[in-house]
């Protein structure tokens, strides 16, 4: 996939940096011990294999403020002086207090209501359970990350199958946390899915689940919905680079499921796939509809005054074409066929028109720097929209126009 104009590397989504002030004590929930299983809002489907950053922050504030103020310095947490190495020896006591507190409020409706209000989390009880499970599994999470990285270099399918069988599939909740952590490191999740199908002897979701690998499917779905946060495409500060990379990641995750696993109609996985796909598509569609307009505005000469380049509009147009290219590569996992087809066709037509117009102007005045810059941008977009060979042809046409001078 082509890369957008402003290149920003994308890693596995991690907790965003919280604001200073009242929430400073939640800077890194549990000092980063459960970072590998944290996901970003919006969380359309809460899962036992991951927990949102906001939910983890709420649980961490609860622990520091209400349960363990005698063990954990709130000031130390707030100023960053209380680290994972300080928390680790306290974990048995912290977990014991969390367990006891939750058991106590389970029978106290009013206490549960107050805790939900204080945390701002309606599902605080369920989220706290996932946090506790992740904390208990904290020593295994780095190993799961190592497993995920190893998958990227593992060429022997038999060895991959053996490695998968070492996962704790007899404990679905633990397996879910481990798979979610591992998937975050795996470049091509299809390899895991095809290996699991081979181990199960069948591509049916029900058979895969009976063999203990349902947590893998859930984890892939969880990672897919975790791409939503990066698909903020409205406003002047939209990160199109991040969006394109997240679309590619979303596509790889979704296709690893829909391309290989046989899902029963109406199953929870099918409903999740449908809902997440619609949400992703809905976030991309408005920006896709603006691509042609942005292109025309960026390439159009001002009607009055001195001819000049509007760099912001030009960057927006180039990034829009990058997004269009990303959607082309991922369209099988999206619900954007009609909008994409129209934008793809009209963008091609508009580019050819602007290229020809600017080539003609350059032939008339080869020293016109603004026209040359505008033509360079159009050739760059043509390389993305068409192919590098076409762009090379246009570059030769430009060079010929300049030689005529």
Do 172 and 186 have their domain in common?
A: yes
Do 184 and 72 have their domain in common?
A: no
Q: Which residues, including other chains, have CB under 8 Å from residue 289's CB and lie 6 or more apart?
A: 339, 343
Q: Domain end: 117, 136, 155, which one?
A: 136
Residue 285 lies in a domain: no
Which two three-digit tokens encode residue 28? Answer: 């890194």
* In the block, residue with structure tokens 């000031």: 75
Do 124 and 174 have their domain in common?
A: no
Q: Which residues, including other chains, have CB under 8 Å from residue 247's CB and lie 6 or more apart?
A: 227, 231, 280, 284, 326, 327, 330, 334
Do 124 and 226 have their domain in common?
A: no
In sequence order, the β-bridge partners of residue 39 are: 52
Residue 181 lies in a domain: yes
Bridge-based pairing state of the strands 38-39 and 51-52 = parallel
Do 235 and 302 have their domain in common?
A: no
Do 233 and 249 have their domain in common?
A: yes
pLDDT at position 250 is: 98
Q: Which backbone phi and psi does 337 adopt, to 5 degrees?
A: -55, -50
CB atoms within 10 A of CB 372: 18
Q: What percent of the chain has pLDDT over 90?
A: 82
Residue 16 lies in a domain: no
Per-residue pLDDT tens over the stretch 345-388: 999 999 999 999 999 999 999 989 999 999 999 999 999 999 99
Q: Which residue has the higher pLDDT, 303 or 256?
A: 256
Q: Domain end: 214, 244, 279, which one?
A: 279
Q: What is the mean pLDDT of residues 16-27?
A: 46
Per-residue pLDDT tens over the stretch 277-334: 999 999 999 999 999 999 999 999 888 888 899 999 999 999 999 999 999 999 999 9
**Closest to 249 measured CA to CA, from 149, 179, 330, 177:** 330
Distance CA 341, CA 345 (A): 6
Average pLDDT of the chain is 91
Do 29 and 112 have their domain in common?
A: yes
Residue 13 lies in a domain: no
Distance CA 138, CA 88 (A): 10
Task: Band the pLDDT of 11: cuts 50, 70, 90.
Answer: very low
pLDDT at position 26 is: 55
* Beta carbons of 240 and 323 less than 8 angstroms apart: yes
Q: Which residues, including other chains, have CB under 8 Å from residue 209's CB and lie 6 or more apart?
A: 217
Q: Which residues, including other chains, have CB under 8 Å from residue 235's CB and lie 6 or more apart?
A: none
In sequence order, the β-bridge partners of residue 38 are: 51
Q: Which residue has the higher pLDDT, 1 or 348?
A: 348
**E strand spans, 312-405:** none
CA 6 to chain centre: 17
Q: What is the mean pLDDT of residues 127-150?
A: 97
Do 41 and 77 have their domain in common?
A: yes
Residue 17 lies in a domain: no
Of the listed ranges 23-27, 68-72, 212-216, 376-380, the least confidently predicted one is: 23-27
Which two three-digit tokens encode residue 297? Answer: 């505005």
Do 317 and 268 have their domain in common?
A: no
Distance CA 79, CA 233 (A): 34
Q: Count of domains in the chain?
A: 3
Residue 62 lies in a domain: yes
Do 78 and 116 have their domain in common?
A: yes
**Domain span holding position 77:** 24-136
Do 148 and 248 have their domain in common?
A: yes
Residue 127 lies in a domain: yes
* Beta carbons of 233 and 192 less than 8 angstroms apart: no
The pTM of this model reads: 0.89
305: alpha, beta or left? (left if phi > 0; alpha if psi -120 to 50) = left
Do 90 and 52 have their domain in common?
A: yes
pLDDT at position 16 is: 41
Residue 101 lies in a domain: yes
- Secondary structure letter of residue 65 according to DSSP: I
Q: Domain end: 136, 162, 193, which one?
A: 136
What is the maximum alpha-carbon separation in the chain? 87
pLDDT at position 32 is: 96
């Amino acid at each position: 996939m082509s890369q957008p104009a402003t290149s920003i590397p994308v890693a596995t989504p991690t907790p965003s940096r919280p604001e200073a002030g009242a929430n400073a004590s939640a800077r890194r929930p549990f000092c980063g011990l459960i970072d590998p299983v944290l996901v970003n809002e919006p969380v359309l489907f809460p899962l036992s294999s991951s927990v949102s950053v906001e939910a983890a922050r709420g649980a961490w504030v609860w622990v520091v403020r209400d349960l363990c103020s005698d063990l954990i310095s709130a000031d130390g947490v707030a100023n960053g002086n209380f680290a994972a190495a300080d928390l680790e020896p306290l974990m048995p006591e912290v977990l014991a207090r969390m367990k006891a507190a939750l058991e106590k409020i389970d029978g106290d409706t009013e206490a549960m209501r107050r805790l939900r209000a204080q945390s701002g989390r309606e599902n605080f009880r369920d989220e706290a359970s996932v946090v506790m499970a992740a904390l208990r599994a904290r020593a295994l999470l780095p190993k799961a990350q190592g497993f995920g990285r190893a998958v990227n270099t593992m060429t022997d399918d038999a060895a991959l199958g053996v490695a998968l069988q070492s996962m704790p599939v007899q404990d679905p909740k633990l397996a879910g946390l481990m798979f979610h952590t591992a998937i975050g490191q795996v470049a091509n999740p299809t390899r895991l899915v095809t290996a699991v199908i081979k181990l199960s002897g069948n591509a049916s979701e029900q058979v895969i689940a009976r063999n203990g690998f349902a947590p893998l499917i859930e984890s892939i779905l969880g990672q897919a919905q975790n791409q939503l946060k990066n698909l903020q495409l409205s406003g002047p500060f939209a990160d199109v680079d991040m969006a394109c990379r997240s679309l590619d990641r979303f596509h790889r995750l979704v296709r690893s499921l829909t391309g290989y696993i046989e899902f029963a109609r109406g199953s929870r996985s099918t409903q999740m796939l449908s809902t997440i796909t619609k949400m992703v598509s809905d976030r991309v569609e408005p920006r896709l509809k603006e691509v042609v307009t942005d292109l025309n505005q960026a390439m159009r000469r001002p009607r009055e005054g001195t001819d000049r380049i509007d760099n912001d509009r030009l960057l927006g147009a180039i990034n829009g074409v990058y997004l269009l290219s990303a959607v082309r590569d991922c369209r099988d996992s999206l619900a954007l066929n009609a909008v994409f087809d129209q934008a793809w066709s009209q963008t091609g037509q508009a580019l050819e028109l602007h290229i020809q117009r600017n080539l003609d102007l350059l032939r008339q005045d080869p020293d016109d720097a603004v026209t040359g810059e505008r033509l360079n941008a159009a050739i760059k977009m043509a390389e993305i929209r068409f192919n590098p060979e076409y762009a090379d042809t246009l570059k030769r046409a430009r060079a010929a126009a300049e030689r005529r001078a």
